[in-house]
């Protein structure tokens, strides 16, 4: 049953990411939290386990997504490079910070963040564009904040990177593509940070390296990788309003169940 749940979770995350370009981690983290809690793992590390495993799956999916956008020449690599140092620093600090606080506090932060994303999607709020150049200091600061928060909530950062780039007069198409490329260093460094913080903890779990649950990672990453193209096809067959409403409803339900558990 756990394997089946992992596969279905990855499929849902892949389809959601393919449809809207965001959402993988926002689905994966709550489901992993439910599964790990039912498996009887250490309660003080449930969120850290879910976050680390979610980020590990995003490493795989971000490679596929970035390559697809790169083939369409949509990734603005000159923007990825100045953002990366801040992203790397923020992601590393975010993993260390999340590993040092209680699972309950992380859960509250995640639930609030998920409610905010769901509301933003429902209201269709977008940042206004400003005809400005992204300075190196601004890119470094923005990348640090994006990397830190993304690692704390176990996502690839699209919910923040896309609005950040759009603010600086970057088209939504290029912002989504560039955000996908930025998701790789967030996921990679974030995962490594969680592993570094947990490698010497006395955790009694099979198929795991620190906070990273290997079986969950493999099954979720595999099904998500395969189902992402399906999400892209679905996106072209139904209205954007229906997409946003459906995804917002799913995030509200997951956040509410997680809050009540």
Q: Which two tokens stand for residue 80?
A: 């990825």
Q: What domain range includes position 8?
A: 2-260
User: First and final CA of the chain: distance in angstroms?
Assistant: 20
List the chain pLDDT tens, one digit each, 261 residues.
778 888 888 888 777 766 665 657 888 899 899 888 888 777 889 999 999 999 999 888 888 778 877 887 888 999 999 999 999 999 999 999 999 999 999 999 999 998 988 888 778 766 666 667 788 899 999 999 999 999 999 988 888 888 888 888 888 778 878 888 898 999 999 999 999 999 888 776 677 888 999 999 999 988 887 877 676 666 556 666 776 777 788 888 888 888 887
Instruction: Answer whether 0.85 is exceeded by the pTM.
Output: yes
Pair type for strands 208-209 and 212-213: antiparallel
Closest CA to 181 of 25, 21, 12: 21
Q: Which two tokens stand for residue 254?
A: 């997951």
Q: Whose structure tokens read 């009694």?
A: 204
* Percent helix / strand / coil, the chain, rounded to 5: 80, 0, 20
Q: Whose structure tokens read 């949509």?
A: 74
Q: Which two tokens stand for residue 132?
A: 């400005």
Number of neighbouring beta carbons within 10 Å of residue 1: 7
SS3 (DSSP) at 261 = coil
Cβ partners under 8 Å of residue 86, min gap 6:
139, 140, 141, 142, 143, 144, 145, 146, 147
Q: What is the DSSP letter of 200?
A: T
- Helix and strand totals (H; E) in the chain: 10, 2
Cβ partners under 8 Å of residue 169, min gap 6:
129, 130, 131, 132
Q: Which two tokens stand for residue 153?
A: 């909530």
> What is the number of structural domains in the chain?
1
Number of neighbouring beta carbons within 10 Å of residue 71: 9
Give the torsion sign (CA, 187, 189, 192, 194): negative
């Amino acid at each position: 049953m756990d394997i089946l749940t992992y596969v279905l979770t990855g499929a849902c995350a892949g389809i959601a990411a393919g449809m809207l370009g965001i959402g993988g981690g926002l689905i994966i983290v709550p489901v992993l939290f439910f599964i790990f809690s039912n498996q009887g793992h250490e309660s003080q590390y449930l969120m850290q386990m879910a976050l680390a495993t979610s980020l590990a799956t995003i490493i795989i999916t971000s490679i596929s997504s970035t390559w697809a956008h790169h083939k369409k020449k949509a990734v603005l690599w000159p923007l990825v490079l100045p953002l990366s140092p801040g992203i790397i620093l923020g992601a590393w600090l975010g993993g260390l910070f999340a590993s040092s606080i209680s699972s309950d506090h992380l859960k509250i932060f995640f639930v609030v963040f998920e409610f905010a994303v769901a509301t933003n999607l429902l209201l269709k709020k977008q940042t206004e564009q400003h005809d400005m150049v992204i300075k190196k200091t601004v890119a470094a600061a923005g990348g640090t904040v994006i990397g830190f928060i993304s690692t704390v909530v176990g996502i690839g950062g699209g919910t923040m990177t896309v609005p950040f780039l759009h603010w600086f007069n970057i088209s939504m198409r290029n912002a989504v593509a560039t955000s996908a490329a930025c998701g790789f260093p967030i996921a990679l460094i974030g995962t490594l940070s969680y592993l570094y913080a947990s490698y010497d903890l006395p955790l009694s779990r099979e198929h795991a390296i620190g906070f990273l649950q290997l079986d969950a990672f493999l099954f979720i990453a595999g099904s998500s990788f395969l189902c992402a193209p399906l999400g892209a096809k679905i996106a072209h067959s139904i209205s954007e309003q229906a997409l946003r409403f459906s995804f917002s409803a799913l995030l509200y339900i997951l956040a509410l169940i997680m809050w009540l558990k």
